[in-house]
A and B are shown apart, each in its own frame.
Chain A
C-alpha cells in the first residue's frame, strides 16, 4: 500500500510537470494551426525555425553577453525573421495550384535548417539559459519546478497576447477573414500577401518564444529536438482540430501530460511512441479533433 501511494504521488507529479511543459507544445501547435488556417497548407519547417530562433539567441549571446530574458527576446525576433524568410522561400513564389510543391519545399527547409544547425554546432548540444531553475515550490509531497512554472507563465502570457491580436485587432480580423474566404477578403480590400506574410512573422515570433522556453525547460538545445517537436506540434494540431486555436491549447496540455505520464511509466525511450499512438486513437475515434471545424467548410 505504501509503495502504491508513492507511485501515485510520482504519477501526479509527472502529470503536473507534463502540463507545465505542455504549454510549449501548445504554442508550436498554434503556429501550425494558424498557418494552416490562413493558407490551407502545412509549414513543416515551423518547429525547426522555432528551435533555430533559440539557437540564434545563443549565437548572439556568445558575442554580446546578456541576461536570460534578453536571450528569450532575441529568440522571438530571430524566429519571426525566419518565419518571413520561410514565407518568401516556400510559399510566396510557388503557385497555389501546386500544394505538393509547397509542402515539399517546407520539408526541404526543415532539413536545411537542421543541417545548418548541425553544421554550426558540430551536432553538439548547447546549454541554454533558464530562469528560476533553483526555485522549487513545495506542496506537501509535491513540488513544482521554478523553471517549468516560468515556462508555463511565459507561454500563457504569449498565448493570451496572440489571442488578443487575433480576436481584437484589425490585423487579426484580416487574418481571420483570409482564413475563412480569401477571395471575399481580397474584395474587401485586404492584401492577401501582406496578411499571409504577417501571419508567418507572428507565428514565427510565437515559435521563437516556444523554442526559447523549450531550451529553458530542457536546459540544452540540440538538433535532435526539431523532428520530435515537429511531430508533436502536428499531433497537437490534429488532436485539437486543424485550424482551431483553443483546440491546440488544450491538445498541447494533453500531449504534455500524456507524454510525461508515459515517461514515468515506460521510460524516456518509449514515451514518444505512446504520443503517436494517441494520435491514431484520435484519428480513429474523433478524426476531426477535439474542436472539429463545422462541416461543409474545407
Chain B
C-alpha cells in the first residue's frame, strides 16, 4: 500500500512540475529552468521548516514566491530578445541553480545535531512530516490537495481572458501584437507564474523525500518537466496529468524490469513521439475525439 501512496505522491509532485512548464508553453516558449525553480522552492521551504521552524504551508509559499521572483528576473532579459533565447537562458539558469546549491553550505546546530544544506552532501533530515505525525496517506492527500488547487486555478485561468491572451501569443506573436497585446508582459507573467508553481512543487518534494541534493535537479528533471505538457498536448491541463501518469506510472515504474535500458528508452521515446505526433499525444483532434466518445456524439468536431 505504501508503494502506491508513494507513487501517488510522485505523480502529484510531477504533475505540479509539468503544469509549471505548461503555463510557460501556452505562450509558445520552452523553459528548461523549471528544475531550477523547483530546486529553489525545495531548498527554501526545507530550510524554513527545518532551520526556522515554519509550518509547511507558509514555508512552501515563501519558496514559491522566491522561485517566481527568480523566474521574473531570468525571464525578463531573455524574453525581450527572441524566442529561442529563453531556451538558452533557462538552460544556463537551471544549471546555475544546481551549481549554486552544490556550493551552498548553511548549517546550524539544533538539538545536538547539525542540520541544513551542506554542498555536495545535500540537505538531509527534512523531517517536518514525521515530526508532526503525518502518515503517508496524509501526505498523499496534502500533495493532491495542492495539485487540485493548481489545476483548478489553471483551468479557470484558461477559461478567462488571461488564458485567451496567453494562447493568442502562443499561436501567433505578430497577430497578438497587432491586437494590442504586450508580448513581453504576457510572456514574463507566464514565466513568473510557472516559476511560482514549480516552487510549490519543490517545497512538497523536499518534505516527502526528506533528503535533497543538487543532482536531483539536473537537466533530466528539466526535460521531464517540459516532456509532460508536450506529450500531453496543450489543449487542457488534464493532458499534462495523463502524460505524468503515463510516464511516471507506466514507463518509470512499469519498466523497472528493463534496468539500465529504461533510461535509454526515455530519450528515444521523446524523439519518436515528436516525429509521430509533433503536436503532442493528445492534440486538439485527439481531445475532440475523446470528448465525442464520452458525450456519445461519436464524431469529432474537427
Which residues of A come within 8 Å of B, CB atoms?
36, 41-42, 44, 89-90, 93-95, 98-105, 107-116, 118-119, 227-228, 230-231, 234-235, 237-238, 242, 269-270, 272-273, 276-277, 279-280, 283-284, 287-288
Contact = CB atoms under 8 A, between A and B. Distances in A.
Given A100-B30, A279-B92, 12 more contacts: A90-B274, A93-B275, A98-B278, A101-B230, A112-B271, A113-B267, A119-B260, A273-B99, A280-B74, A283-B78, A287-B80, A287-B85
Most buried by B among A105, A228, A284: A105
Nearest to A111: B267
Given A103-B30, A283-B85, A288-B81, A111 B220 contact: yes
The main secondary structure of chain A at its interface with chain B is: helix
Nearest to B226: A104
A240 to B, nearest CB: 12
B220 A105 contact: no
B107 interface: no
A213 B193 CA distance: 42
B184 interface: no
A101 B95 CA distance: 23
A146 to B, nearest CB: 31
Nearest to B259: A119
A101 B278 contact: yes
Contacts of B92: 231, 234-235, 276, 279-280
Contact of B84 (A36, A110, A284): A36
A272 B94 CA distance: 12
B77 interface: yes
Contacts of A283: 77-78, 81, 85, 89
Nearest to A109: B271
A287 B96 CA distance: 19
Most buried by B among A107, A110, A118, A269: A107
B91 A230 contact: yes
B264 A276 contact: no
B124 interface: no
B102 interface: yes
B218 interface: yes
Contacts of B25: 100
Contacts of B263: 111, 115, 118-119
Nearest to A106: B271
B1 interface: no
The main secondary structure of chain B at its interface with chain A is: helix
Nearest to B268: A112
B28 to A, nearest CB: 7
B139 interface: no
Contacts of A94: 274-275, 278
Interface of B: 25, 28, 30, 32, 74, 77-78, 80-85, 87-89, 91-93, 95-96, 99-100, 102-103, 218-220, 223, 226-227, 230, 260-261, 263-264, 266-271, 274-275, 278-279
B220 to A, nearest CB: 7
B267 A112 contact: yes
Most buried by A among B74, B84, B230, B274: B274
Contacts of A107: 32, 223, 226, 270
A276 B95 contact: yes
B82 A234 contact: no
Contacts of B77: 280, 283-284, 287
Contact of A242 (B82, B89, B95, B220): B82
B264 A237 contact: no
Given A90-B274, A279-B92, A288-B81, A111 B87 contact: no
Contact of A103 (B87, B96, B260): B87
B161 to A, nearest CB: 24
B271 A287 contact: no
A108 B269 contact: yes
A272 B267 CA distance: 26
A99 B83 CA distance: 10
Most buried by A among B95, B100, B220, B269: B95
B261 to A, nearest CB: 8
Q: Which 6 A-B pairs have the closest CB atoms?
A: A108-B270, A112-B267, A111-B267, A101-B278, A105-B274, A98-B278
Contact of B230 (A104, A118, A230, A288): A104
Contacts of A98: 278-279
30 contacts: A41-B84, A42-B88, A89-B275, A94-B275, A98-B278, A100-B30, A101-B230, A101-B274, A101-B279, A103-B87, A105-B274, A105-B275, A109-B271, A111-B270, A112-B271, A114-B267, A115-B263, A115-B266, A115-B267, A227-B95, A227-B219, A234-B92, A235-B92, A242-B85, A270-B103, A273-B103, A279-B92, A280-B89, A283-B77, A287-B80
Contacts of A238: 85, 88-89
Nearest to B84: A42
B275 A104 contact: no
A149 B261 CA distance: 40
A283 B95 CA distance: 17
Contacts of A44: 87
A100 B283 CA distance: 14
A109 B272 CA distance: 10
B75 to A, nearest CB: 11
